[in-house]
Structure 1
Amino acid sequence: MNTAMVIGGVEILPGQVRQLKVPVAKLYTDTDMSIPVHVTRARKTGPVVFVSAAVHGDELNGIEITRRLIEKKIKLLKGTVIAVPMVNVYGVLNQSRYMPDRRDLNRCFPGSPKGSLAGRMAHIFLHEIVRHCDYGIDLHTGAIHRSNLPQIRANLDDEETLSLAREFGVPVMLNANLRDGSLREAAVSNGAKILLYEAGQALRFDELSIQSGLKGILNVLSALGMIRKRRIRKKIEPFVANRSDWVRASASGFVREYATLGKQVEKGDLLAEINSPLGELISQVVATRSGIVIGKQNIPLVQEGEAMYHIAFFGDDAEEVAEHIEMMQEMVKPVIAEQNDL
């Protein structure tokens, strides 16, 4: 029904663009805290899509992606886009992954109006935003000191979700199980189709990740018929990884790196060397299977057993995946020029 949508007590009518704030619990300084929300509604009924970022407060790429999405002032042919640049506003304030109660917000859904602070925020976001939506794109990065190659994680056994994941247009897709307490699990339980975009690292802006994420969102909106069909000069073909594993440090020490993000590796290839403070070679880290490096640790210090390289396995398609990763990297434009061409 093409009627008013109510978020945070504010009515948004068809054809309106509104910026609003959804109140959450105050700081102990009596400072009001709220989740910023930007809503764009077409006059014509259509899909409702949320784009969320910073569920983990130190994952900043998504904030910039949503800022650029809002800045584009997209003209919707139908439906509604709800952009939420910061879900965990407390974490952003503290440059922390977690909520002030040290809980991971992405393990607290669906939450409760009478639960912990994290549980209450999860409940608010689910009730105020997700319940309106048919689709969602949740933006994430790697953890602190870890980088992820741009990738989509989703339930690829669902045909429509798989189709949207392909339309997003990054080379790597992972068929990821739902995690208990995650936003994705709660949204799926509410009937929404969800894509989780992972790219870059915490507390850093990464232009490849940002541009790929923004293009991907626009590709999905175009596929849903919500914006005009986009002209894509180079089509990036996505590939589904049939499995992925972390290669772990076999010793503790200082790291000399050989494998970079997006690199195609063969079984037995040298990924890194681990040395003592005096320069003595302690151990070598090698690929246990052939695949593509889709995630890696950045800090050059490791403890024995620590995860160092996340490798996805694509079978005979690995070379093609590597080619499309290179194509994606070549499409990154200078920050000033890129706005008009996305």
Structure 2
Amino acid sequence: MAATRPAARASFGIGTVKVRPGHTREIGLPITKLVTGSELSLPVRVVHGRHDGPVVWVNAAIHGDEVVGVEVIRRVLATLSPKTFRGTLLAVPIVNVHGFMAGDRYLPDRRDLNRSFPGSSRGSLAGRIANLMMREVVAKCEVGIDLHTGSDRRTNLPQIRADLDDPRTRALAEAFGAPVMLHAKLRDGSLRAAARETGATVLLYEAGEAMRFDQWAIEAGVAGVLRVLEALDMVDPVVGAPPVAGLVSRRSGWLRAGRTGIVHLDATLGQRVEVDDRLGGLSNSFGRTLRLVRADRAGVVIGRTTAPLVNRGDALVHIAEIEGAQPPGTPDSPAASDGFDALGEIQVL
């Protein structure tokens, strides 16, 4: 008697399109029309594997000037074959299409798209885009990775922000392998908050600077996304160095300028600091020192400004306090890093 062949996977439906198993399809989900009458669409690539597995999404450019994630997604997709892929991946490289085309963080009405979820099909432009993303992408998935960079004139150490108290989220955050995992509260209106309400497991990746292709941020993002897909058994084991055990933080804060002036920062991403360590200084236009910049807490530098001119109160250095960190001078305490090679084998130049 002939063996029964397993039933083929069903086609995957998104918008008005059906994607057959073992195939990849690029589609545009209609958002609105431009003043010219041209259609503006949300770009999605569906990788519908031949074999069963989870349904996952990865997105970038919710803020239109955050371009690192767009390149991360391009490089990840270049490694995937729907013939061997297990499960389904929905890749949305540009969520804020208006902002991306203009090189702007926000939408034309200055709304922050990442404060507009879950949105409404009858709301503002931001609300309509958010609703479309939730309805056609997030609602179909069980896991999502939201890719970000620092905001204008700020740069971030590769880091995962997530609910580290949820076991599955924690496991996937560890699989990603970023130098730091930050337990982050949900923000009202964010994609992560809205997706969590649907039951999805969400990781938020932060790395690099807006409007720049920081290669170290891109490479860490590509490796991390592929490791998450591997942990979900959607791809075969990724060749390369295993992930470094990320440091865990549950509290962080920005050190702010005490004076208006020209800032000269010595602090580097990934650097270990102790309370009162000198991180730079503020001077006037003649070079006279106005105030030193000193650490107000012990931890690791996970973000810093790239702006040379600052006003009093501007954010300068973001320091994450490390869970379980030992006092300096103890035998097992990690050494300070000039970049963040000791935390993730990635060096900022």
Structure 1 length as normaliser, TM-score?
0.93
Matched, 1:56 2:63: yes
> In the comparison of the two structures, how many residue pairs are matched?
333
- Describe how 1:207-222 pairs up with structure 2 within 5 A: 207-222=215-230
* Aligned mate of 2:44, from 37, 41, 56: 37
Query: Is residue 279–residue 293 contact of structure 2 (8 Å, CA) maintained in 1?
Result: yes
Identify the residue that residue 248 of structure 2 maps to in structure 1. 240
Q: What do the CA deviations read for 1:238-262 (whole angstroms, capped 9, x no partner)?
A: 1211311110100000111111111
Per the alignment, in what secondary structure is the counterpart of residue 292 of structure 1? strand
Partners of 1:281 and 1:17 lie apart in 2 by 58
- CA distance, structure 1, for counterparts of residue 167 and residue 147 of structure 2: 21
Indicate the residue corresponding to 1:5 in structure 2: 12
**Which residue identity does 1:195 align to in structure 2?**
L
CA RMSD in angstroms comes to 1.9
More moved, 315-324 vs 164-173: 315-324
- How far 1:230 sits from its partner (Å)? 2.2
Give the corresponding residue for 1:153. 161
- CA gap of 1:286–1:85, structure 2 versus 1, over 3 A, is same
Query: 315, 340, 344: which one pairs with 1:325?
Result: 340
Residue 47 of structure 1: aligned partner: 54
Aligned equivalent of 2:3: none
1:316 aligns with 2:325: yes
Seen in structure 2, the aligned counterparts of structure 1 residues 272 and 195 have a Cα distance that, compared at 3 Å, is: same
CA distance in 1, matches of 2:341, 2:29: 41
- Structure 1 window deviating more from structure 2 (224-233 vs 150-159): it is 224-233
Cα deviations by residue, 1:64-88 (Å, 9 ceiling, x for unpaired)? 0011112223454421011111010
Residue 269 (structure 1) aligns with: 277
Residue 29 of structure 1 and its aligned partner are, at CA, apart by 2.0
Q: Does 233-242 or 45-54 show the bigger shift?
A: 233-242
Contact 1:296 1:309 in 2 (8 A): yes
CA 1:234–1:221 in structure 2 vs 1: closer, same or farther (change >3 Å)?
closer
Conserved 8 A contact 1:293-1:309:
yes
Change in 2 beyond 3 A, CA 1:262/1:226: same
Indicate the structure (1 or 2) with the bigger Cα radius of gyration: 2
Q: 1:148, CA displacement in angstroms?
A: 0.4
Secondary structure, aligned partner of 1:25? strand
Q: Is 1:23 matched with 2:19? A: no
Deviations 1:39-67 (A, max 9, x none): 11112221001000000000000000011
Percent identity, aligned pairs only?
47
Q: Which amino acid aligns with 2:176?
A: F
Find the counterpart in structure 2 of residue 108 from structure 1.
116
TM-score (norm 2): 0.91
Aligned CA distance change for structure 1 residues 322 and 182 (closer, same or farther; 3 Å): farther
Structure 2: 5+ residue runs without aligned partners?
A: 1-7
Structure-1 separation of matches of 2:247 and 2:111: 34
Instruction: Read off the aligned partner of 2:250 and give its amino acid letter.
Output: N
SS of 1:45's partner is: strand
Find out whether 1:192 has 2:207 as its counterpart. Answer: no
| Offset at residue 328 of structure 1 (A) | 6.0
Q: 1:163 to 1:258 in 2, by over 3 A?
A: same
For 1:121 and 1:21, the matched residues in 2 are separated by 13
Match of 1:95 in 2: 103
Cα 1:84/1:322, change in 2 over 3 Å:
farther
1:28–1:321 Cα change, 3 Å? farther
